[in-house]
């Protein structure tokens, strides 16, 4: 018959069977196109009879990655900055573990900056008390105030100047640490001293409060 070829045993072999010493021929349908094999291990063939490479699995979508960042003990992550970073991490499809490492690095950097600033604020307070810079040099005259044993009296004078400002000013100097800066202390001291010498009268016609013990100058306190 026209659809059969001679076999090695003298009989006939269907054209889609294993030819002697050759590769398995593709199974053809009624339309003459290859039929996908039911054997999962067998290669899938295309319309041209050639094996088809299956598509690679889709990478994880950004929405599929869940980020739950942890902060070091004693620290709290900024929610706004964290939301911005999470959006970038999803866009870049960063693994959750990699994103956490980046957060860890950022928090360590923030800690170092805070430690550096704290040391600077302490150094300013030391300069005010001793009248000398960290390297042992005398502060310029325009930055110097009576320190040492006279520091409590100096701070009492500074408190008079602070009474002129709003509470927000005191809070700002306290939060920033600039209340310890020699230039700020010197300015407050000069204003407070002028108030004492001139017997300054407040705008409401009353004498400024004399007892400021409960409203201490926020940061530049004498060291023990």
pLDDT of amino acid 33: 67
pLDDT surpasses 60 at 37: no
Q: Rounded mean pLDDT of 90-117?
A: 94
pLDDT of amino acid 108: 94
Domain ranges of the chain: 62-127
User: pTM of the full predicted structure?
Assistant: 0.57
pLDDT of amino acid 197: 77
pLDDT of amino acid 207: 40
- Number of helices (H), then strands (E), belonging to the chain: the values are 5, 2
pLDDT of amino acid 200: 45
pLDDT tens per residue, range 195-215: 887 654 444 444 443 333 334
Mean pLDDT of the chain: 77
Cα(179)–Cα(173) distance, integer angstroms: 5
pLDDT surpasses 60 at 72: yes
pLDDT surpasses 90 at 104: yes
Coarse DSSP helix, strand, coil percentages of the chain, rounded to the nearest 5 percent: 45, 5, 50
Which percentage of the chain shows pLDDT scores above 70? 63
Higher pLDDT among residues 44 and 124, named by residue: 124
pLDDT surpasses 50 at 26: yes
CA-CA distances (angstroms) from residue 179 to 28, 125, 201, 213? 89, 9, 25, 17
pLDDT of amino acid 219: 47
pLDDT of amino acid 117: 96
pLDDT of amino acid 192: 94
Q: Spell out a b/e string for 37-50, using b for 16 or more CB atoms within 10 Å of the CB, else e.
A: eeeeeeeebeeeee
pLDDT of amino acid 4: 53
pLDDT of amino acid 22: 52
pLDDT surpasses 80 at 103: yes
pLDDT surpasses 80 at 11: no
Q: Rounded mean pLDDT of 2-18?
A: 52
List the one residue out of 196, 184, 195 whose CA is nearest residue 220. 184
């Amino acid at each position: 018959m026209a659809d059969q070829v001679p076999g090695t045993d003298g009989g006939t072999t269907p054209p889609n069977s294993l030819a002697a010493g050759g590769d398995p021929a593709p199974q053809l349908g009624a339309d003459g196109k290859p039929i996908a094999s039911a054997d999962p291990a067998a290669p899938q063939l295309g319309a041209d009879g050639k094996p088809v490479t299956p598509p690679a699995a889709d990478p994880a979508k950004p929405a599929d990655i869940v980020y739950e960042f942890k902060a070091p003990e004693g620290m709290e992550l900024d929610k706004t900055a964290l939301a911005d970073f999470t959006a970038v991490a999803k866009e870049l499809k960063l693994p959750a573990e990699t994103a956490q490492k980046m957060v860890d690095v950022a928090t360590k950097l923030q800690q170092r900056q805070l430690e550096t600033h704290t040391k600077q604020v302490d150094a300013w307070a030391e300069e005010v008390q001793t009248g000398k810079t960290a390297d042992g040099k005398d502060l310029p005259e325009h930055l110097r105030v009576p320190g040492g044993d006279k520091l409590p009296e100096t701070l009492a004078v500074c408190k008079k100047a602070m009474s002129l400002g709003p509470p927000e000013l005191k809070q700002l100097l306290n939060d920033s640490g600039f209340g310890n800066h020699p230039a700020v202390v010197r300015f407050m001291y000069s204003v407070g001293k002028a108030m004492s010498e001139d017997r300054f009268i407040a705008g409401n016609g009353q004498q400024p409060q004399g007892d400021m013990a409960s409203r201490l100058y926020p940061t530049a306190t004498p060291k023990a």
